[in-house]
Amino acid sequence: MVRLAYYPGCSLEATGKEYDASARAVCQALGIELVELEDWNCCGATSVHSIDHLLALALPARNLALAQKVGLDIVAPCSACYNRLRQTEHALRHDRSVGRAIEEAVGFNFLGGVTVLSLLEALVRRVGVEAVADRVVHPLRGLRVASYYGCLLVRPPEVTRFDRPENPVHLDEVVEALGAEAVYWRGKTECCGASHAITNPEVASALVGRILALAREAGADAIVTTCPLCQTSLELRRPAGEAIPAVYFTELMGLAFGLPGTRTWLDKHLVDVGPVLSAVVQAVS
């Protein structure tokens, strides 16, 4: 049994509830015990790092202190949350002047025993792609998937250090383990413009339109995401008439694993996920 401190973050408590539910269910199916951090706080993603550098590090550091208290590595499903937590861990480990300022602001001493993981990293590194494949009961044969990492999951590479920054492969490996086909495409690390969604929606819409067009160009039936902010952008900021669905990679895993509740997660999406469900029906029949 793998035990990890679980940091859901704000989005998984609101617009990304299906990601939270599917992440918990998939981890349970793979023998990962998620211990939600008690009294966790917002990591400050999307805005604080543009306003106050120390606060942008101190907010995630408080969550690291909570994980250190329970003696567990911490997993964050949201790519933005993961990036902020990982940036703070990197500063605490490698920049002592900044690290001391963070520790003083939060009121703890970082002992170096806590590692921040993305959910994808936890599944690949702590469980393994082979274990994912072994859990599949409904291989998603015939489903062509564009694996979308976004810009925060693998960058900056000197901080994240778990996959290739320009052509990452771990999500593709998980998709293939589920029996689906991970298509080769040019948009897997493109920015979705989530940070511009309110202040400059035209920019966000243009970026999303490009990502969806690239996925369609590659012949994908669906896009699979790892971040609730990316997922929201891909569903809300798409051009009129664009029908390619986007789903969380944990939902795809739930379908392949035959987990109960999977349809409930997919029903929460704003874009019809019919092509994904059709592939599952074909695989089972």
Which residue, among 284, 194, 184, 277, has the nearest Cα to 234 in the 3D structure? 194
pLDDT of residue 48: 75
pLDDT-based confidence at 194, cuts 50/70/90?
A: confident
pLDDT-based confidence at 281, cuts 50/70/90?
A: low
Structure-token pair, residue 180? 């689906």
Q: What integer is the mean pLDDT of 256-280? A: 88
Answer whether residue 81 shows pLDDT above 80.
Answer: yes
Residue found under tokens 């349970």? 28
pLDDT > 70: percent of the chain: 96
Q: Identify the residue with better confidence: 283 or 272.
A: 272
pLDDT-based confidence at 250, cuts 50/70/90?
A: very high
DSSP 1-17: -EEEEE--TTGGGTTTH
Answer whether residue 168 shows pLDDT above 70.
Answer: yes
**Mean pLDDT, the chain, whole residue set:** 94
Record the pTM.
0.95
The boundaries of every CATH 3.40.50.11810 domain in the chain are: 138-284
pLDDT of residue 283: 52
Q: What integer is the mean pLDDT of 172-194? A: 96
pLDDT of residue 201: 82
CA gap 171, 228 in Å, rounded: 16
DSSP 175-215: HHHTT-EE---S-TT----GGGTTT-HHHHHHHHHHHHHHH
pLDDT-based confidence at 280, cuts 50/70/90?
A: low
Structural fold of domain 2-119 = Glutathione S-transferase Yfyf (Class Pi); Chain A, domain 2 (1.20.1050)
Answer whether residue 285 shows pLDDT above 50.
Answer: no
* Domain range 138-284, CATH class: alpha beta
The boundaries of every CATH 1.20.1050.140 domain in the chain are: 2-119
Q: What integer is the mean pLDDT of 16-33? A: 98
pLDDT > 90: percent of the chain: 86
pLDDT of residue 209: 96
pLDDT-based confidence at 279, cuts 50/70/90?
A: low
Q: Express each pLDDT in 214-229 by its tens digit.
A: 999 999 999 999 999 9
Q: Identify the residue with better confidence: 281 or 76.
A: 76
- The strand ranges marked E within 27-182 are 32-36, 74-76, 116-118, 144-147, 181-182
Which residue, among 33, 28, 55, has the nearest Cα to 42 in the 3D structure? 55
pLDDT of residue 282: 58
Q: Express each pLDDT in 102-151 by its tens digit.
A: 999 999 999 999 999 999 999 999 999 999 999 999 999 999 999 999 99
Q: Identify the residue with better confidence: 172 or 199.
A: 172
